[in-house]
């Protein structure tokens, strides 16, 4: 069958956030082709997107992407071989491991019954708070972004950031920073919730689902409830800090 190389590359790159570099779950390093859609799932993130490639099976993700990126042809030929996906271009042929049986639990992730509009400044607020989320796994909740009905916030025990906005969420929920960060790149405009997931969707039809957590986030009010004289930062402080931080690179 024939396929458009650039279109297929765009489709598989869209679901990359759900790929696992270390295959802790069988086929979590694969792209799943099934019934006109492609899926990825790594237990923390799930992606689904429509594809024009009408095949079924699990294909190793990175070899597929690397081959598509290196090829220059506009149109390529796709064949299913014995345990492999064969891609043909002008005078070249590549084979990638493919499993016809899909064992990755993609069907366990339900779509929400209804979608709601994501506030216009949700992504902007997320950009501000993400750098303050922690990386220390021993303090799990601090590796998450706290989505409150009235704000987004994050803290790593050294810094805290809160962005005031009507998030559209009815109840507080947590999402890991390394999961929810991907929605910034995909222009998400809608969201929905199910028992274990927060789902985001963009106009192109990409659905990116982040596992949701309901642990209690620390109360940041005592830290953020400050009083005193408001001051204006000097205009050149950003550039000054950029120059000075060179001397602290080796001592975080």
* DSSP for residue 44: S
The Cα–Cα gap between 68 and 56 comes to 19
The pLDDT value given to residue 127:
97
pLDDT in tens, the chain (252 residues): 888 999 999 999 999 999 997 878 999 999 999 999 999 999 999 999 999 999 999 999 999 999 999 998 899 999 998 889 999 988 888 999 999 999 999 999 988 999 999 999 999 999 999 999 999 999 999 999 999 999 999 999 999 999 999 999 999 999 999 999 999 999 999 999 999 999 999 999 999 999 999 999 999 999 999 899 999 999 999 999 989 888 877 766
Identify whether the C-beta of residue 149 lies closer than 8 Å to the C-beta of residue 167. yes
- Helices and strands of the chain, counted as H and E runs: 6, 16
Q: What is the pLDDT of residue 251?
A: 67
Cα→Cα distances 178→45, 97, 184, Å: 9, 28, 12
CA distance 63 to 28: 14
**What's the sign of the alpha-carbon dihedral 202, 184, 119, 196?**
positive
Task: Return all residues near 194 (Cβ < 8 A) that are at least 6 apart.
Answer: 109, 110, 111, 112
Q: How far apart are CA 94 and CA 78, in angstroms?
A: 10
Rounded to whole angstroms, the Cα distance separating 15 from 1 reads 22
Report the predicted TM-score, pTM, of the whole model to 2 decimal places: 0.89
In the 8-state DSSP scheme, what is residue 230? -
Q: What pLDDT score does 245 carry?
A: 85
C-alpha–C-alpha distance, residues 94 and 117, integer Å: 43
Helix-helix angle 5-14:61-70, to 10 degrees = 140
The DSSP string of 87-145 is EE-SS-EEEEEEESS--S-GGGSPPPS--EEPPTTHHHHHHHHGGGS---TTSGGGGEE
pLDDT value of position 15: 97
């Amino acid at each position: 069958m024939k396929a458009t190389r650039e279109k297929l590359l765009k489709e598989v790159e869209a679901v990359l956030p759900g790929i696992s570099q270390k295959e802790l779950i069988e086929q979590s390093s694969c792209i799943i082709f099934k019934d006109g859609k492609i899926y990825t799932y790594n237990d923390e993130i799930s992606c689904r997107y429509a594809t024009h490639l009408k095949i079924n099976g699990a294909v190793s993700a990175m070899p597929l992407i690397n081959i598509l990126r290196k090829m220059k042809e506009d149109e390529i030929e796709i064949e299913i071989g014995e345990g492999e996906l064969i891609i043909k271009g002008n005078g070249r042929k590549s084979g990638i491991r493919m499993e016809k049986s899909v064992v990755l639990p993609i069907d366990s992730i339900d779509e929400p019954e209804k979608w709601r509009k994501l506030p216009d400044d949700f992504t902007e607020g997320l950009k501000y708070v993400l750098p303050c989320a922690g990386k220390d796994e021993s303090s799990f909740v601090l590796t998450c972004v706290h989505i409150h009905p009235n704000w987004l916030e994050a803290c790593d025990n050294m810094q805290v950031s809160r962005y005031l906005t009507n998030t559209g969420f009815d109840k507080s929920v947590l999402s890991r920073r390394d999961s929810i960060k991907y929605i910034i790149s995909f222009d998400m405009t809608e969201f929905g919730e199910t028992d274990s997931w927060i789902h985001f969707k963009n106009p192109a039809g990409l659905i990116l689902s982040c596992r949701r957590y309901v642990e209690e986030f620390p109360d940041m009010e005592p830290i953020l409830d400050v009083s005193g004289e408001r001051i204006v930062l000097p205009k050149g402080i950003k550039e000054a800090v950029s120059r000075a931080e060179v001397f602290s690179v080796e001592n975080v």
